[in-house]
Amino acid sequence: MNKSIHDIIFTDKPASVLEEKLLGLQPSRVAVLVDENTKKHCLPFIEKALPHDHVLIEIESGERHKNLNTCIEIWKALTNQAFDRKGVMVNLGGGVIGDMGGFCAATYKRGIRFINMPTTLLAQVDASIGGKLGIDFDGFKNHIGMFREPDSVIISTIFMDTLIDREIRSGFAEVVKHALISDSMHFEDISRNLWHKQNWHEVVPHSVTIKENVVIQDPQEQGLRKTLNFGHTIGHAIETHYLNHADNPLLHGEAIAMGMIAETLLSSKKCGLSQDESQSAISYLMDNFPLERIPEKFFDAIINLTIQDKKNRNGKVLSTLLQKIGQCAFDIELSKEELYWAINEYNRKISAK
């Protein structure tokens, strides 16, 4: 078993674990970052572990607040309290809180320590693992950021009860992705049930372990870590486009599920994924996720967005595709024509449902 690159704890007693971790870190002061939802629903679970003079920073929930303006609010809140470099920040929330709170902590006075307490399934199995921090910028997702590990990640399924179904299902997309790229047995296991019947006490740690094993081998995304990008070349572009242009933005996992279907179709075309396995992956995704038809007028914009993907090089769109379920290849170049074909074919598939 590989050594953890950071300290990930699964617990039913998040307050006790937080208390113990803070005792170890000996902070001069503690700040807690929440949004209106986690303040109401999650903070009560951990409040007793916080020193009485902690600084509570509340931001508005939602991806559209994951930007520099909110960072400025957070940095100012710390500054106004003369928060020093020995302080510790606790990020209590989903991916937005973890990514942005981590970024603010890692850049405040050139970096203070932070603990992530992911409260959504998506953040638990994905965002909080692997040290990717950042914010959206100029219409691009996670465009400004850095790599840095939290001092601890405290994961508790207690917080799952605070989530609406749509959030849980969105997070489940990353669970499916982890299985598809590297663990066919796990795909078999989870695909016996739909998302709402999963045993999260088993599924969450298993999914975290898959991601952790990849990240340990390639923390800076030079190679292997790119496999985690499956579904994201197209999915990320769809998510970004809807964020900027649609009235009702998609959740991350919803967009990634759409991207995974398009990229599974490309996997058969370009990487030898068998028709049987392709069908099995696509069916399971179609059974679990609400899949929007993508209007043709969005095609060009979405394809242009794939070009801005951080994993690209020399202006070429590079993707991760499945060779079989549980095995994939990365840095597969996609032409504009192939991207167009994949999105069109995705539409055809989901219409035939």
Task: Tell me whether residue 232 is one of the annotated catalytic residues.
Answer: yes
Task: Compute the distance between CA of residue 261 and CA of residue 278 in angstroms, rounded to an integer.
Answer: 9
Choose between 109 and 349: whose C-beta lies nearer to a copy of itself. 109
Fill in the amino acid letter for 196.
Answer: H
**Which residue in the list 91, 252, 263, 338 is annotated as catalytic?**
252
* CA-to-CA dists, residue 179 to 60, 63, 125, angstroms: 33, 26, 12
Q: N- to C-terminal Cα distance for the chain?
A: 42
In angstroms, what is the minimal distance from the CB of 324 to a copy of itself? 29
Choose between 41 and 310: whose C-beta lies nearer to a copy of itself. 310
Task: Tell me whether residue 132 is one of the annotated catalytic residues.
Answer: yes
Choose between 16 and 81: whose C-beta lies nearer to a copy of itself. 81
Task: Compute the distance between CA of residue 35 and CA of residue 97 in angstroms, rounded to an integer.
Answer: 8
Task: Tell me whether residue 211 is one of the annotated catalytic residues.
Answer: yes
**Which residue in the list 169, 186, 211, 241 is annotated as catalytic?**
211
**Which residue in the list 63, 174, 239, 263 is annotated as catalytic?**
174
In angstroms, what is the minimal distance from the CB of 29 to a copy of itself? 8
In angstroms, what is the minimal distance from the CB of 331 to a copy of itself? 12
301 is written with which tokens?
């914009």
**Which residue in the list 149, 167, 212, 221 is annotated as catalytic?**
221
Task: Tell me whether residue 347 is one of the annotated catalytic residues.
Answer: no
**Which residue in the list 110, 197, 297, 313 is annotated as catalytic?**
110
Supply the DSSP symbol for 212: H
Task: Tell me whether residue 225 is one of the annotated catalytic residues.
Answer: yes
Choose between 14 and 145: whose C-beta lies nearer to a copy of itself. 145
* CA-to-CA dists, residue 97 to 56, 127, 172, 331, 332, angstroms: 13, 10, 19, 30, 32
In angstroms, what is the minimal distance from the CB of 305 to a copy of itself? 11
Choose between 79 and 193: whose C-beta lies nearer to a copy of itself. 79
DSSP 271-296: H---HHHHHHHHHHHHHHS--PPPPG
In angstroms, what is the minimal distance from the CB of 296 to a copy of itself? 24
Task: Tell me whether residue 206 is one of the annotated catalytic residues.
Answer: no
240 is written with which tokens?
């970004």
In angstroms, what is the minimal distance from the CB of 260 to a copy of itself? 23
Choose between 108 and 172: whose C-beta lies nearer to a copy of itself. 108
Binding site for a copy of itself (CB under 8 A): 28, 68, 72, 75-76, 79, 82, 84-86, 106-111, 132-134, 137-138, 140, 142-147, 307-308, 310-315
Which residues lie below 8 Å from residue 319, measured CB to CB, with a gap of 6+? 229, 233, 234, 263, 266, 330, 332, 333, 334
Task: Tell me whether residue 277 is one of the annotated catalytic residues.
Answer: no
In 222-236, which positions are buried (b, 16+ CB within 10 angstroms) versus exposed (e)? Answer: eeebbbbbbbbbbbb
**Which residue in the list 236, 239, 270, 338 is annotated as catalytic?**
236
Task: Tell me whether residue 113 is one of the annotated catalytic residues.
Answer: no
The region that residue 49 occupies, defined by phi over 0 for left and psi between -120 and 50 for alpha, beta otherwise, is alpha
Task: Tell me whether residue 64 is one of the annotated catalytic residues.
Answer: no
Task: Tell me whether residue 65 is one of the annotated catalytic residues.
Answer: no
Known catalytic residues?
Answer: 110, 132, 174, 211, 221, 225, 229, 232, 236, 252
